[in-house]
């Protein structure tokens, strides 16, 4: 994007063809999720299922990409095969930079290839390559082969699916350059349904800055705040795994399917323990000086006579929560073994962990057919979980075929709604902090804690709930995050990219925005998301909350269902006003 035109690469897998469109009408959507939402609205068929070949995959970058620190994300929007409605995910590493240097602001992929393919995107266009030799391979093996086969080393990005995506598991993710992912809501299943194994993106185009003096002044201010203040320090230090000890200490760490909100073995899987015993190195996405990606070394014996191998795995708080405390796993090696399993197969770690935690309790209550389960699931025992994860992908019988569609599908078939950790139909993230988290996660457009900072509201206000105040916070925050996600700025840097800084950054590269215009855009994006969600059948007023959320104390206090239902009603009325405005 040069402020005058948006270049869209459109790929038709069925016809194995592509076109490039230059769109002046999309400039005022900024980029990222703003552009992506409008492109999805143009191509989406709300009457057809998520895996219909006509349904689009949209990837979009922002105007600050390659230009400012931490503008590192690529937005993906799609119809989710997990929830059946709005799908939205973000990934870092090199993808955003590779797309920019290839000359594309967004990519729209439709159709279904007659046989497995992978695509090579470059300034010259698209090459359609035979992917049959990669089909069935793990995420790691696929990446290794594509690095050998394709050009662009040092400035390319390789994104790919594993066997989970090929088999259309509803919560399959897309791996991005080994250590990052489009994780949640099942983008990998869309890739698999389209016979699309991978994308390789590379290019060497350049984009000169017209007013270097103004740009450099803003850049240096942002860089200074990122590197030389405390704002980003925690992400480089222990990283998000620091949350294990923090949340456990205040009674907000979901444990054993939220039967408890603190874990007796939290110290053994804390950020401190991972750093002291397993941390090998730290990495950063291209264009980021922080280095928040924490990579652990897992050493294990694979044969007699002292035969060992070492595996490197990225870890963060959500993985430790979902595959650690939530499953009662209390040691770093078992957590890493579970992380490795979901990584190689290409699954979303959070949904996998929440699903297995529910299945463990469902087994205890004799809700699942033991002859189909085939493994023993017990909190604290990793071997059963490792075998069950394989079965989620293989889908050997009706039970695992149902589980592969996600927790909501499992509950509809087998019961157990009272202890299913679902919020808006999506498996919960790792915060049991209070009303703000539960409401925010449930009503956020992508049903994520990252939509609107409800968990942060809980921690700041310590359980004091004024409905109007909470609802205003959630809506205001979600609209502003739509702006940041249109810029494709990492949300870790949201305190750096405040309103004034964002306007200065845009103006320094010739984009004439003001604060009011940005807030208006954020509201317009949310309005369009809600309209699309409703067209796909989602009804905010039908959101229900599991009994488990009210049985287990959140930060030392039990929550009340009537209060949360009242908050939901307040939110729905406020959202209606926003959509009609």
Q: What number is the average pLDDT over the span 160-166?
A: 99
Task: State the pLDDT confidence band at 503, using cuts at 50, 70 and 90.
Answer: very high
Domain 236-417 has CATH 1.10.569.10: yes
Compute the average pLDDT of residues 142-146.
98
Instruction: Inform me whether the pLDDT recorded for 88 exceeds 80.
Output: yes
Q: 89 and 485 in contact (C-beta within 8 Å)?
A: no
For 226-254, how does the pLDDT look when each residue is reduced to its tens digit (9 = 90+)? 999 999 999 999 999 999 999 999 999 99
Alpha helices, DSSP H, located in 103-182: 139-149, 163-166
Distance between CA atoms of 91 and 297, rounded to whole angstroms? 23
State the first-to-last Cα distance of the chain, in angstroms, to the nearest integer: 29
- Give the residue-averaged pLDDT of 319-326: 99
Mean pLDDT over each residue of the chain, to the nearest integer: 97
Closest Cα to residue 50, out of 425, 545, 448?
425
Nearest of 357, 275, 293, 295 to residue 321 by alpha carbon:
357
Q: How many residues does the chain have?
A: 581
d(CA 81, CA 160): 18
31-82 tens-digit pLDDT = 999 999 999 999 999 999 999 999 999 999 999 999 999 999 999 999 999 9
Percent over 90 (pLDDT), the chain: 94
Round to whole Å and give the CA distance between 241 and 277: 14
Evaluate whether 557 touches 261 at the Cβ level (below 8 Å).
Answer: no
Q: Which two tokens stand for residue 7?
A: 């270049």
- Considering the segment(s) 426-580 as one domain, its CATH architecture is Orthogonal Bundle (1.10)
Of 89, 95, 69, nearest to 77 (Cα)? Answer: 89
What confidence score (pLDDT) does residue 58 get?
A: 99
pLDDT tens column, 427-446: 999 999 999 999 999 999 99
d(CA 164, CA 390): 9
Give the residue-averaged pLDDT of 80-88: 98
Domain boundaries, the chain: 6-202, 236-417, 426-580
DSSP code string of 357-406: HHHHHHHHTT-S-HHHH-S---TT-HHHHHHHHHHHHH--SHHHHHHTT-
Nearest to 164 by CA among 366, 391, 330: 391
Q: How many CB atoms lie within 10 A of CB 346?
A: 29
- Give 96's contacts (C-beta < 8 A, 6+ positions apart): 61, 62, 65, 66, 71, 72, 73, 74, 286, 287, 488
Average pLDDT of the residues in 506-516: 96
pLDDT at 1 over 70: no
Residue 466's pLDDT band (cuts 50, 70, 90): confident
| Superfamily of structural domain 6-202 | Aldehyde ferredoxin oxidoreductase, N-terminal domain (3.60.9.10)
pLDDT of residue 2: 63
pLDDT at 463 (0 to 100): 67
């Amino acid at each position: 994007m040069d402020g005058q035109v948006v270049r869209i690469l459109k790929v038709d897998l069925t016809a194995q063809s592509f076109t490039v469109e230059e769109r002046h009408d999309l400039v005022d959507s900024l980029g990222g999720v703003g552009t992506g939402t409008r492109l999805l609205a143009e191509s989406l068929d709300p009457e057809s299922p998520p895996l219909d070949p006509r349904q689009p995959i949209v990837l979009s970058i922002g105007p600050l990409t390659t230009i400012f620190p931490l503008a590192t994300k690529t937005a993906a929007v799609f119809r989710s095969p997990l929830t059946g409605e709005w799908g939205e995910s973000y990934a870092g590493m090199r993808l955003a930079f590779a797309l920019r240097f290839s000359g594309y602001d967004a990519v729209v992929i439709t159709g279904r290839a007659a046989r497995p393919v992978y695509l090579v995107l470059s300034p010259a266009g698209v090459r359609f390559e035979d992917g049959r030799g990669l089909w069935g391979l793990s995420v790691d093996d696929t990446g290794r082969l594509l690095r050998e086969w394709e050009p662009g080393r040092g400035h390319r990005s390789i994104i790919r699916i594993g066997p989970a995506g090929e088999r259309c598991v509803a919560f399959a993710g897309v791996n991005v350059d080994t250590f990052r992912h489009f994780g949640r809501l099942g983008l990998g299943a869309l890739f698999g349904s389209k016979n699309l194994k991978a994308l390789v993106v590379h290019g060497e185009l350049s984009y000169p800055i017209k007013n270097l003096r103004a740009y450099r002044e803003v850049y240096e201010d942002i860089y200074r705040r990122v590197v030389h203040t405390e704002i980003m320090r925690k992400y480089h230090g222990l990283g998000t795994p620091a949350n294990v000890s923090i949340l456990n200490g205040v009674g907000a760490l979901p444990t054993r399917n939220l039967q408890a909100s603190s874990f007796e073995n939290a110290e053994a899987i804390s950020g401190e323990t991972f750093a002291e015993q397993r941390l090998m190195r730290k990495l950063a996405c291209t264009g980021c000086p922080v280095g928040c990606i924490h990579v652990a070394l897992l050493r294990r014996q694979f044969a007699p006579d002292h035969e060992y191998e070492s595996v490197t795995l990225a870890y963060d708080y959500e993985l430790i929560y979902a595959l650690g405390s939530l499953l009662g796993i209390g040691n770093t090696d078992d957590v890493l073994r579970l992380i490795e399993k979901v990584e190689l197969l290409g699954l979303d770690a959070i949904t996998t962990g929440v699903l297995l935690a529910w299945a463990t309790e469902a087994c205890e209550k004799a809700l699942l057919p033991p002859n189909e389960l085939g493994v023993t699931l017990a909190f604290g025992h990793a071997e059963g979980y490792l075998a069950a994860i394989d079965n989620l992908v293989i889908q050997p019988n009706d039970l695992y075929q149902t589980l592969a569609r996600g927790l909501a599908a499992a509950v509809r078939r087998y019961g157990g709604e009272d202890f299913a950790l679902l919020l808006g139909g999506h498996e919960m993230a790792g915060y049991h902090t209070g009303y703000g988290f539960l409401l925010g996660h449930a009503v956020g457009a992508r049903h994520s804690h990252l939509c609107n900072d409800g968990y942060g509201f809980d921690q700041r206000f310590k359980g004091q709930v004024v409905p109007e105040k909470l609802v205003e916070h959630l809506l205001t925050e979600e609209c502003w995050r739509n702006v940041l996600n249109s810029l494709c700025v990492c949300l870790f840097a949201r305190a750096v990219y405040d309103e004034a800084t964002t306007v200065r950054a845009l103006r320094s590269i010739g984009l004439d925005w003001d604060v009011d215009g940005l807030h208006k855009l954020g509201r317009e994006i949310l309005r369009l998301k809600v309209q699309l969600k409703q067209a796909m059948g989602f009804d905010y007023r039908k959101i229900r909350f599991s009994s488990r959320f009210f049985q287990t104390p959140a930060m030392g206090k039990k929550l009340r269902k009537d209060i949360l239902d009242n908050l939901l009603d307040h939110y729905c009325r406020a959202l209606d006003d926003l959509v009609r405005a």
